[in-house]
Chain A
Amino acid sequence: MMRIAVKGIGVTGGFGCGVADLAAALKGGISRVSEITVPSAQGPLQMPAFRAETERLDEFVPKRALRRIDHYSKMGLLGAYLALADGGMLGSDLSRLGVVVASGYGATATTFAFLDSIIGDGDICASPTHFANSVHNSAAANISIMLGAKGPSLTVSQFDMSVPSALVSASQWLAEGRVDAVLFGAIDEVSDLIGYLQHRQRGPQRACPISPLSTGEESSIIGEGAAFLLLTRKDDSLAYCTIETVDTGSLYQEELSFPDDALLLLGADGRRELGARYRATVPGHSRVACYTSIYGSMPAAAAFDLAAAALILQNGRVYPIPGAAGCDMDGIPVPLETTRICALKLAGINEYAAVTLSRLQLP
């Protein structure tokens, strides 16, 4: 695969907003867990969740332009602007820019708002605005409209595998020369539906940190946010790191193998069955890290993993695993330094993705 450079990072999530906030949260190993209230048959449920703010959009877009844009798209817009700004491309010619958005569940709050309009007032009162904004590519569309980006646009919804799947196509666009840069991002949103499903499928929520690698315990906390990367073909200019390979698919008999020198960045997020699959997949001698307790459990977390990997490779130093006690994977020590990271995403019974990223070779 042709090598890709990560030129900019734009993030908003429970830890804050912008690449500096993400770096600080990774360094300190702490993030801000909010509490949300979700309606249920048993009355209002309180549960922990990582919420993302979008106030900083005011720096980039006039308020009037946002009047019809929902929280889901706002997170995406903010991520997109921050990544462009971070990569020094804000205000540049964007005619050769592609936009790729990955989302596990799309704009679920607006999807429910549309259903509410029918349920509350009958089919004749279905809201066209909610309908238009509930279409999966609404965020990508809003990003393209606001930025005036007229290149190709793609939205992928592959549940937990949305991010690596979308990255396969984004890489090809760069390899084929269709575009000179890709604004690649992931968005997921906390809504009544996501909160309620978490409660029904995962049980009562404890107010303790995600322990992604501990055995047998359910500790996932839902999260929301947007993580965008500005990607270009590898050139001589400065970048966070390079993406070397993107491999994704389904495993039947085969076993995964990983580069010996790579730190494995695990997408485990406190979901019990997923933790078990990571433990079964990761070879015993591996060096591992995991940062989902900084941003929470959501399909878009895979893009936050890529952002975290880019930050590590930029300075060569590995952040400590937050709440290391809960993350001890059979006492495997986390290395202090690395020049290569393999971001490993597992989902379902046999889906996998491995994205290899490398530190830039300085001349």
Chain B
Amino acid sequence: MTHPWPIAITGLGCICAAGTNLDDCMETLYSGRRAPAAPTRFTSSHPTRYPVFEVSGFNEPPELLRTSALGLHAVRDALADAGLDLETLRGLRVGVCVGTTVGSAMNNEQFCRDYRAGLDPDLEPIERIMRSNPAAVIAREFGLTGPCQTVVNACASGTDAVGLAASWIRGGVCDVAIAGGADELGRITYNGFISLMITDDSPCKPFDRNRKGLNLGEGAAMLVLESEETRTKRRSRARSYLLGYGSACDAHHLTAPKPDGEGLRYAIAEAFSCCGISAEAVSFVNAHGTGTPDNDRVESLVLADLLPGVPFLSTKGYTGHTLGAAGAIEAVFTIACLERGMIPGSAGFSTPDPDLGGTPVEGSTKVEGMVALSESLAFGGNNSVILLGTRGAA
């Protein structure tokens, strides 16, 4: 049993450096504001201070990882948006599919330091990780009975989680799926990305000739996906539609994208094939656009080839690269932009790069049409693409 595409999206929630809810985020994006700064929540002995996009004014409870707490925050907004209260949820089979990079990793620096120093460290940091699996935390908090999946496809996790949740709905695995991504900033990823020499020591400049790399960010976004039977039964409105999902692996290199973007091309083609949508129908592309020399080159060349003339932007100039959350945050932004018929300028871009396939939009730009594409490229050569549409697109 496989239900046809598209899949209705009935709720959205988002928290990142641009704002603690979706409306605030969009206001920040359209105003062009961004304020990456040196990390305040942790220190580093690195001689250069690399700016990051922290979520300010958000404190996680001591028993949970910040990642999972950010995820819960976004879920609450998404459920409220979908009009799903605890009682309604209890009568449905609800699955949870969440992308992350650090949310399920047995990675606690202080524990490791103490252990290596010959101490018997307190187990609480490890126990906190064990009780903070991002998908399981959400299921537990809301008493959900369906499958739980924490997707760890590196920087494509958020996009994949949304696409996989759609396939669960299509297969009748659950009535409703909460899907998205969550990740927190920390010393491990901070030092890791600096060591790969793909981190910019100034605010990131996606698709710009002088781009030097990414800035890290943190946050979470969640989408509520719903089967048509459930929607009919509870008379909920579709805020948007997921019109397609595609993913493919470059099978090329652990950390570098394939120069010809082969995997990305396959992923885009697969996403288009789901609803039989053509490139002409796409009004804009929310690109991965990390600001690293390699990513932006490959991505822009593929876009120039497959979606020539379609406006594109990266919102990472406003949020930083939120890793496992990025695909979900960008999916939510994409829907909000479609609803408003307007995309923000691609922050950080000023100088065109002749080696790229094109230039992103500068300043808020009106867009027409009902369909947009959001894409993620990740470590390991994972490429994931989703097509999103307005209510009228289905």
Q: Which residues of A approach B to under 8 Å, CB–CB? A: 1-2, 39-42, 68, 99, 105-106, 108, 111-112, 114-116, 118-119, 122-124, 126-128, 131-138, 140-142, 144-145, 147-159, 161, 165-166, 168-169, 171-173, 175-176, 178, 192-193, 196-197, 200-201, 248-252, 254, 348, 351
Shortest distance in angstroms between B101's beta carbon and chain A's nearest beta carbon?
Answer: 7
* B236 touches A (CB below 8 Å): no
From B136, B139, B148, B379, give the contact of A132 (CB < 8 A): B379
B109 CB within 8 Å of chain A: yes
Chain B CB within 10 A, most for which of A42, A105, A123, A141: A141
Hey, which chain A residues are within 8 Å of B171, CB to CB?
A: 1, 171-172, 175-176
Bound: A1/B1 CA distance, A: 7
Minimum distance in angstroms from B166 CB to a CB of chain A: 9
Shortest A85–chain B CB gap in Å is 19
- Segment among B117-125, B218-226, B285-293, B306-314 that sits at the interface with chain A: B117-125
Tell me the bound Cα distance from A159 to B249 in angstroms: 24
Name the A residues within 8 Å of B140 (CB-CB). Answer: 250
Interface, chain B (partner A; CB < 8 A): 1-2, 44-47, 93, 95, 101, 104-107, 109, 112-113, 115-116, 118-120, 123, 126, 130, 133, 135-136, 139-140, 143-154, 160, 164, 167-168, 170-171, 173, 187-188, 191-197, 247-255, 262-263, 266, 270, 378-382
8 smallest beta-carbon distances between A and B, as pairs:
A141-B380, A136-B152, A131-B192, A126-B191, A128-B195, A126-B195, A172-B167, A41-B120
Distance in angstroms between the alpha carbons of A132 and B193 in the assembled complex: 9
Complex: chain A residue closest to B153, CB-CB: A137
Q: What is the CB-to-nearest-CB distance from A96 to chain B, in angstroms, rounded to a whole number?
A: 11
Once bound together, how far apart are the Cα atoms of A144 and B152, in whole Å? 16
Enumerate chain B residues within 8 angstroms of A200, measured Cβ to Cβ: 120, 123
* A115 to B164 alpha-carbon distance, docked (Å): 32
Alpha-carbon distance between A251 and B133 when the two chains are bound, in angstroms = 17
Distance A197 CA – B144 CA, assembled complex (angstroms): 30
Indicate which residue in B105, B164, B197, B378 contacts A111 across the interface (CB closer than 8 Å): B105
Given A114-B188, A126-B195, A200-B123, list of 4 further CB < 8 A pairs?
Answer: A41-B120, A193-B106, A196-B115, A249-B95
The one of A2, A132, A351 in contact with B255, judged by C-beta atoms closer than 8 angstroms, is A132
Cβ contacts under 8 Å, A115 to chain B: 107, 109, 112-113, 188
B106 touches A165 (CB 8 A): no
Contacting pair A159 B195 (CB below 8 A): no
**Chain A positions within 8 Å of B152 at CB level:** 106, 135-137, 155-157
Cα(A118)–Cα(B95), bound, Å: 38
Query: Which residues of A sit under 8 angstroms from B106, Cβ to Cβ?
Result: 105-106, 108, 111, 193
CB distance from A116 to the nearest CB of B (A): 7
Residue of B nearest to A169 (CB): B164
- Residue among B115, B118, B250 facing the most chain A CB atoms (10 A cut-off): B115
Q: In whole angstroms, what is the CA distance A157 to B2 when docked?
A: 26
Q: How many Å from the CB of A204 to the closest CB on chain B?
A: 14
- Contact yes or no, A165 B149, CB < 8 A: yes
Separation in Å of the B224 CB from the closest CB of chain A? 18
Asked, given contacts A115-B109, A159-B130, whether A144 binds B249 with beta carbons under 8 Å apart, the answer is yes
Please indicate which of the listed interface residues A39, A114, A142 has the most CB atoms of chain B within 10 Å of its own CB.
A114
A151 and B381 contact, CB distance less than 8 A: no
Chain A residues contacting B253 (CB-CB under 8 Å) are 145
The answer for the CA separation of A142 and B135 in the assembled complex, in Å, is 26
Q: Smallest CB–CB gap between B176 and chain A, Å?
A: 13
Say yes or no: A151 contacts B249, CB within 8 Å: yes
In the assembly, what is the distance between CA of A197 and CA of B122, in Å?
11
**Quick check: B145 and A150 within 8 Å, CB to CB?**
no
Chain B CB within 10 A, most for which of A40, A68, A152, A154: A152
Give complex CA distance A138, B382 in Å.
Answer: 11
14 of the cross-chain contacts (CB-CB < 8 Å) are A39-B115, A116-B112, A126-B194, A134-B105, A145-B251, A145-B381, A152-B248, A154-B160, A156-B152, A158-B149, A161-B136, A169-B167, A175-B2, A193-B112
A137 contacts B382, C-beta separation under 8 Å: yes
With a cutoff of 8 Å between Cβ atoms, the chain A residues found around residue B196 in the complex are: 128, 131-132
CA distance A95 to B295 in the complex (A): 24
| Complex CA–CA separation, A166 to B26 (angstroms) | 34
What residues on B are CB-neighbors of A165 within 8 Å? 147-150
B45 partner, pick from A123, A131, A156, A196, beta carbons under 8 A = A123
- The residues of A that contact B44 with a CB separation of less than 8 Å are 123
Report the bound CA distance from A248 to B97 in whole Å.
13
CB neighbours (8 Å) of A192 from chain B are 115
Contact B192 A176 (CB under 8 A): no
- CB atoms of A173 and B167 under 8 A apart: yes
Query: When the two chains form the complex, which single residue of A140, A156, A158 contacts B380, counting CB atoms closer than 8 Å?
Result: A140
Contacts of B148 in A (CB 8 A): 158, 161, 165, 248-250, 351
Instruction: For the complex formed, measure the closest distance between the CB of B68 and the CB atoms of chain A, giving whole angstroms.
Output: 13
Q: Give CA–CA (A157, B135) in the complex, Å.
A: 10
The answer, among B105, B113, B164, for a CB contact under 8 Å with A136, is B105
Task: Give Cα distance in the complex from A127 to B266, angstroms.
Answer: 32
When the two chains form their complex, are residues B266 and A138 in contact, meaning their CB atoms are under 8 A apart? no
Chain A residues positioned under 8 Å from B146 (CB to CB): 249
A132 contacts B46, CB within 8 Å?
Answer: no
Residues of B close to A251: CB separation below 8 A:
145
Check B151 against A168 for contact (C-beta < 8 Å): no
CB neighbours (8 Å) of A169 from chain B are 149, 164, 167-168
Picked from A1, A133, A154, the residue with its CB within 8 Å of the CB of B153 is A154
Q: Could you tell me the distance in whole angstroms from the C-beta of A117 to the nearest C-beta in chain B? A: 8
Contact A141 B381 (CB under 8 A): yes
Contact A156 B194 (CB under 8 A): no
Interchain CA distance A15-B239 in the complex, whole Å: 53
Query: In whole angstroms, how far apart are the Cα atoms of A50 and B323 in the complex?
Result: 34
Q: Which residues in B have their C-beta under 8 angstroms from that of A155? A: 151-153
Assuming A135-B379, A137-B379, A172-B173, is B262 touching A150 (CB within 8 A)? Answer: yes
Given the known A-B contacts A132-B254, A153-B380, are A127 and B195 also in contact in the complex, defined by CB atoms under 8 Å? yes
Contact of B168 among A136, A144, A172, A178 (CB under 8 A): A172
